[in-house]
Structure 1
Amino acid sequence: MIQQALIRKQRIILSLLFTLIFVTIVIGTGLGHSSLSYDRLIPTLLGQGTFKEEFVLFSVRLPRIIITLLAGMALALSGAILQGITRNDLADPGIIGINNGAGVAVALFFLYFPIEAGSFIYLLPLVAFIGGLLTVCLIYLFSYHKKQGLQPVRLVLIGIGFSFALAGVMIVLISSAEREKVDFIAKWLAGSIWGTDWPFIWALLPWLVLLIPFTLYKAHRINLLGLSEPVAIGVGVSLERERIVLLFTAVALAASAVSVTGGIAFVGLMAPHMAKALVGPRNQLFIPIAILIGGFLLLLADTVGRNLVDPDGIPAGIMVALIGGPYFMYLLLKK
């Protein structure tokens, strides 16, 4: 039974996060090379803006903002699931190699399977999912011990190894690709938000619409998986089946996000930790907060990064890494 005080606290925090996200969106729409004055924002939204104002808002700013927000939410939820099923606070789709596995698949698809642009956009999340799934299967295989089961620390260490190895594969792909395709892969590696059109939103949105409710439905199971294995088995949890289903969910979320944003790490690490610090470790309480924190973190990183340096700004992945790297080291030393 969840205490009413905690539920009220969760609702207050969710309201504050929605407010922060809204304020960041409003600020982000008015910043950039093509300015859009804030007093013209509502008229433009209502269809009363000039051609330039409507183009800047609907074709440049809003698609990028929505993509960034959705991707941050997906990465945060993926990290929360991974930390729950591995019982390891250092688990993150970027750190343990899932993002890089998805990236290698996207790069191979981009380089060697040229198809029409319209189909390419909608196939990207599926291709990234296949790459991430193959990667996580290998990581799981190497981390699993017949007598001891899944070893969380071993999973993180092996995942880090896979992450570096797959980054090396990306470098090899760059060295053998054409110049214009190299630019795409380099931007992906830096975590540059490259999918900034409405079709990318429609390609990403269905994954979140399906998997966020599914994860919330499974929140109680994730709580049980966080206990010791004998206790979880004792209350009737099918450990391996639940882990595999939730692992597939985490991979799908991370892969769909990085397929349109590039290689972004640490969002899935930081957001669940911040949420747990606010309302405790129960998944029903902290997962909705972690989702909003993840969206806010990536949205803030992209908004700040793209306005710091002219002309292209700093990729969101680098901005997040500037915060996430030291945070990861802090957790590593603490744990």
Structure 2
Amino acid sequence: MTRISYKWILSGGIFLLLALILVNLSLGTDALSFSRVLAVLTGNGEMLENFILFDLRMPRLLIVLLAGVCLVLSGSLFQTVLKNDLADPGIIGINSGAGLGIAIFFLFVPFQVESFGAFLPLAGGVGALLTALLILLFSRNQPGSLILNGIGFSFAMSGLMVLLMASADREKVDFLSRWLAGSIWGLDWIFVFILAITLVILVPFILIKNRTLDLLTLDENTALNLGVKVTLWRTLFLICAVLLAAVAVSITGSIAFLGLLGPHIARALVGPRHRLFLPVAMLVGAFLFLLADTIAMRFNLPSGILLSLIGSPYFIYLLFKK
């Protein structure tokens, strides 16, 4: 791919994303026209308009964008490290593990979400890491069965979560039901900060090590002969992938297939080299999640359901293709 065509793809992606951001900010219960959105963003808005945009809509917008980047990066790392095009944090059980961690913390620690909701990403991260460890242990002798083991763990974790919900208070059950449907619940600036810090820490490390990711796609013996410490780097990248997915879904609810679709679209556009496709994948993830959320707000639906409707047919297609 030439430098010019790559720049055109990046520029086009950024333009489409900015246009969708304006559309998203102009929608809602209290509609703001494009001109008023621009006026508020340039510091010429009225007090009510500033409140609607910066206190109600902007946190959700940034959460969706940052979570989309997290999930697609996570899916990209899983697909590279596991050498499997079907890998996605939702499919292989990471989301369900995070959900179980959140359910245990939410149901058995006496607190109000409004007061201590920032601890839920931590609980989700612990649940996701433990789940990933169990899946890897069960698959250590048969790496090819990792996807199937992940799907099995996903069903098991979801079943345990439903079992815990059966004896919980109605209010807590409602919250967890919304989480399972992929309904974004974390809408405060603190959650924007948590996602941003996660990306600031992990994204530079991932992008700097793009050549290592390229080498991990090769045969293991070839990578070892080229000086790559395969086991070490696989472990580090898997930890990064789990943390990215866990933090994102802890805040946005259970979002599946976004980590599957984004990397495939990016590779189709710019090829498999991580230096090129990871930035494009991040743009694609942010755009797809924001598009789903914009449609979901318009029709009062959970974003996770829309992404599942888009992603599940593609997953079935890949399953038959493989």
Same fold per TM (> 0.5)? Answer: yes
Q: Does 1:106 align with 2:102?
A: yes
Supply the RMSD in Å over aligned alpha carbons. Answer: 1.4
Which residue number in structure 1 is paired with residue 312 of structure 2? 325
Which residue number in structure 2 is paired with residue 143 of structure 1? 139
Of 96, 106, 124, 1:128 maps to 124
Q: Does 1:56 align with 2:52?
A: yes
Q: How many residues align?
A: 322
The residue type equivalent to 2:35 in the other structure is D
Shift of 1:8: 2.9
Which residue number in structure 2 is paired with residue 176 of structure 1? 167
Q: Hey, what's the Cα distance between the residues in 2 that align with 1:297 and 1:289?
A: 12
What does 1:307-322 correspond to in 2, within 5 Å? 307-308=298-299, 313-322=300-309
Q: Hey, what's the Cα distance between the residues in 2 that align with 1:99 and 1:120?
A: 21
1:267-314 CA deviation, whole Å, 9 max, x = no partner?
100000001111111111101101110111000000011102xxxx11
Tell which deviates more after alignment, 220-229 or 68-77. 220-229
Shift of 1:42: 2.2
Q: Hey, what's the Cα distance between the residues in 1 that align with 2:178 and 2:110?
A: 19
Aligned residue for 1:237, secondary structure, equals coil
Relative distance call for 1:307 and 1:118 in structure 2 (3 A) is closer
Tell which deviates more after alignment, 72-81 or 208-217. 208-217
Q: Hey, what's the Cα distance between the residues in 2 that align with 1:117 and 1:215?
A: 32
Which residue number in structure 1 is paired with residue 70 of structure 2? 74
Aligned residue for 1:322, secondary structure, equals helix
Q: Hey, what's the Cα distance between the residues in 2 that align with 1:252 and 1:276?
A: 23
Q: Hey, what's the Cα distance between the residues in 1 that align with 2:75 and 2:206?
A: 12
Which residue number in structure 1 is paired with residue 179 of structure 2? 188
Q: Hey, what's the Cα distance between the residues in 1 that align with 2:85 and 2:2?
A: 22
Aligned residue for 1:90, secondary structure, equals coil
Shift of 1:168: 0.6
Shift of 1:106: 1.2
State the TM-score, normalized to the length of structure 1. Answer: 0.93
Contact 1:93 1:254 in 2 (8 A): yes
Which residue number in structure 1 is paired with residue 158 of structure 2? 167
Shift of 1:144: 0.8
Q: Hey, what's the Cα distance between the residues in 2 that align with 1:107 and 1:10?
A: 43
Give identity over the alignment, percent. Answer: 51
What does 1:1-335 correspond to in 2, within 5 Å? 5-115=1-111, 120-145=116-141, 151=143, 153-308=144-299, 313-335=300-322
1:176-221 CA deviation, whole Å, 9 max, x = no partner?
1101111110000000111111111012110011111111112111
The residue type equivalent to 1:287 in the other structure is L
1:129-172 CA deviation, whole Å, 9 max, x = no partner?
11110000001011111xxxx61x31111001111111111111
The residue type equivalent to 2:283 in the other structure is L
Tell which deviates more after alignment, 135-144 or 27-36. 27-36
State the TM-score, normalized to the length of structure 2. Answer: 0.96
The residue type equivalent to 1:114 in the other structure is P
Contact 1:121 1:199 in 2 (8 A): no
Q: Hey, what's the Cα distance between the residues in 1 that align with 2:53 and 2:108?
A: 35
Unaligned runs of 5+ in 1: none
Q: Hey, what's the Cα distance between the residues in 1 that align with 2:22 and 2:177?
A: 30
Contact 1:125 1:204 in 2 (8 A): no
The residue type equivalent to 1:317 in the other structure is G
Aligned residue for 2:2, secondary structure, equals helix
Aligned residue for 1:141, secondary structure, equals helix
Shift of 1:332: 0.8
1:71-104 CA deviation, whole Å, 9 max, x = no partner?
0100000000000000000000000000110111
After TM superposition, the runs of 4+ consecutive aligned structure 1 residues lying more than 6 A away are none
1:244-264 CA deviation, whole Å, 9 max, x = no partner?
111000001001100100000
Q: Hey, what's the Cα distance between the residues in 2 that align with 1:282 and 1:79?
A: 15
Shift of 1:126: 2.1
Q: Hey, what's the Cα distance between the residues in 2 that align with 1:114 and 1:212?
A: 35
Aligned residue for 1:33, secondary structure, equals coil
The residue type equivalent to 2:133 in the other structure is C
